[in-house]
Structure 1
């Protein structure tokens, strides 16, 4: 089944102001990247795969802070041709490359993050703590699959915190929430927490600190993410157990010092030669 919508393939006009904002703040929110029809076409399949592949079955009250934050399902593209169309979107990948200032990007992995009704906070953290990669040219697109008002727990960012090195050794946890909430406030990195309109997405760097409030609404907050890395990035020596796990799981077969040219990490966009989808 193929229903690839035009706005997954066509170019998004990214203006210079948005790129400057991203460079200065480590994130940017972009309006109108996807239309309502595109989201309606892909959301049911993404949600179906989250339900099918989810392995978290404990009641919310019995989970730790991480488990209460969201249901997390990765590499959905490997389980559905329809989800693959979404994840491999040349439009989304090109925006990532243009924001990073690189010629192309390859896939690290996708990740559905569904915050259940009553789900707790997503503690302050930086994603790149988990990634054994040699540079900071990494970015995540965060795509809400519905309108996301404040009571749903939209993603919030500490503006400019991609240059803040304190806390980069902290996994997502109660400790990261406590230490980073204090550290970011002391260094005057203002939190930016605003609702997402339908079709609005955000991009944030791997070292940008971010968190999310609880979902106080009566419905799940459904979000699909794709993590991109510079197409020419190399693998670094893992610095912690989480990075060793990621190397095995998301870049299987890649060697330290080499570009991760594996079946799991196809190039999704390159400026010369156009989009490539493996």
Structure 2
């Protein structure tokens, strides 16, 4: 059972049935400007950390609604960590929250976050691919090294990327993300993190960069960048919320049957432009 501090079913339902306050909506619509050095860093390394994209009361609101959505999604799961699969021991994973909870959708579709993705992917427009909360439980195991886009049926993985927002402080010991710089330039390898995780040979001798975050900081990483996260060695949840983007014009490919039934591409035929109810243009 999810044991989020100061959260219960009544509070969660009240939060998720609430309206996003005007001051929060105003922040969501405020574009984030990156400078040339930040763009160059991402272009070279395949990831970047940006500090305090959200803070104060806005961050508190976001934290509350994401915690509430995870609580509701997972309330029926009463298993202890040790009783879960190896993959499930890495995190509580709750995807497509935006389509269950309108107040979460306001956040997921925010132009503030979308403007970061648009700039770093260097495209005219970005679409939502999907969202997911990733809460690492106390003593939760590491997140195995992988490349996100190997699980996505998209024809242009270089034009995909993920924002990872820290809802609470995430030091190294709590299981912060780590990245392999410049690994987006390597040949992509499918790592079966669900059943048989392994470290790809192409990065086995490379140094990884741990990226601790303060609440309100984000990372953005390419869909081609190798990354993972450490074990949560604390007695608190590591709370992260992700929003994943693709370029407008990216197409669906059914070439890998492991990914051909992805929810974001429901109803599409091979080679069709990805434009479904789950993938609206954000900016």
Would you call these one fold, judging by a TM-score over 0.5?
A: yes
SS in 2 for 1:133: coil
Query: What does residue 60 of structure 2 align with?
Result: 40
Q: What are the residue-to-residue correspondences of 1:110-259 with 2, within 5 Å? A: 110-136=131-157, 137-165=159-187, 168-173=189-194, 175-176=196-197, 178-180=198-200, 183-186=202-205, 188=206, 190-241=207-258, 243-246=259-262, 249-259=263-273
Q: What are the residue-to-residue correspondences of 1:19-98 with 2, within 5 Å? A: 19-54=39-74, 56-98=77-119
What is the distance in 1 between the residues matched to 2:78 and 2:231?
A: 19
What is the distance in 1 between the residues matched to 2:68 and 2:224?
A: 31
Unaligned runs of 5+ in 1: 270-278
Deviations 1:154-188 (A, max 9, x none): 1110111111215x122225743x333x54133x3
SS in 2 for 1:250: helix
Would you say how many aligned residue pairs link Structure 1 and Structure 2? 261
SS in 2 for 1:67: coil
SS in 2 for 1:141: strand
What is the distance in 2 between the residues matched to 1:262 and 1:161?
A: 30
SS in 2 for 1:262: coil
Query: What does residue 276 of structure 1 align with?
Result: none
SS in 2 for 1:229: strand
**TM-score (normalised: structure 1):** 0.89
Unaligned runs of 5+ in 2: 1-18
Q: How far 1:32 sits from its partner (Å)?
A: 2.0
Query: Is residue 56–residue 71 contact of structure 1 (8 Å, CA) maintained in 2?
Result: no
Deviations 1:240-269 (A, max 9, x none): 32x1231xx222122221112111110001
